[in-house]
Amino acid sequence: MSEYKNLIKAAKEPLKRAYAPYSGFKVGAAVLTKTGRVFAGCNIENASYGLTVCAERAAVFNAVSAGHRNFTAIAVVTSGKSIAFPCGACLQVLSEFAPDIKIILASSAGRKVVTKRLKELLPTPFSL
């Protein structure tokens, strides 16, 4: 999995800054653009729980805000041992910009790395 070693490393960086006082579940994500740029984000919770933003969306919004919309891969790193699959909302947001993005899942303490394609996790995204 050395191909995405750096992207996983980049996702671990914002993991330290995850704001998760309610769930205690910290997540970091980093998207890779076609031009080789990397944009990262962490989950940001809110006392009004439904306003929480996942790390994946924070990373994508960070990239889009900087003018980058073409993504080839996203790494998602959770704190603890187990990996987590992105939620449906994040998969839908990813599908907007990168319909077949590679999704690399890792955890800080575990050694397992899982790679999926967006189409495997969300075969039928909503589109207008």
56 binds ligand THU (CB under 6 A): yes
62 binds ligand THU (CB under 6 A): no
Map the footprint of ligand THU across residues 10-39, applying CB under 6 A.
20, 23, 25, 27
Intra-chain end-to-end CA distance of the chain, in Å: 36
Rounded to whole angstroms, how far apart are CA atoms 12 and 33?
18
Sign of CA dihedral 8, 84, 54, 108: negative
Q: Which is nearer to ligand THU, 66 or 85 (CB)?
A: 85
DSSP state of 3: G
Q: Which is nearer to ligand THU, 29 or 32 (CB)?
A: 29
Among the listed residues 52, 44, 108, 53, the one whose alpha carbon sits nearest the alpha carbon of residue 76: 108
| 3 given a catalytic annotation | no
55 binds ligand THU (CB under 6 A): yes
Rounded to whole angstroms, how far apart are CA atoms 21 and 75?
23
Instruction: Sketch the per residue contact string, 85 through 124, with ligand THU: x for CB under 6 A, - otherwise.
Output: -xx--x----------------------------------
Query: ∠67-49-100 over CA atoms, to 5°?
Result: 40
Give the shortest CB-35-to-ligand THU separation in angstroms. 25
Tally of helices (H runs) and strands (E runs) in the chain: 4, 5
80 binds ligand THU (CB under 6 A): no
Active-site annotation, residues: 56
The residues that touch ligand THU, with contacts defined as CB under 6 A, are 20, 23, 25, 27, 43, 45, 52, 54-56, 76, 84, 86-87, 90
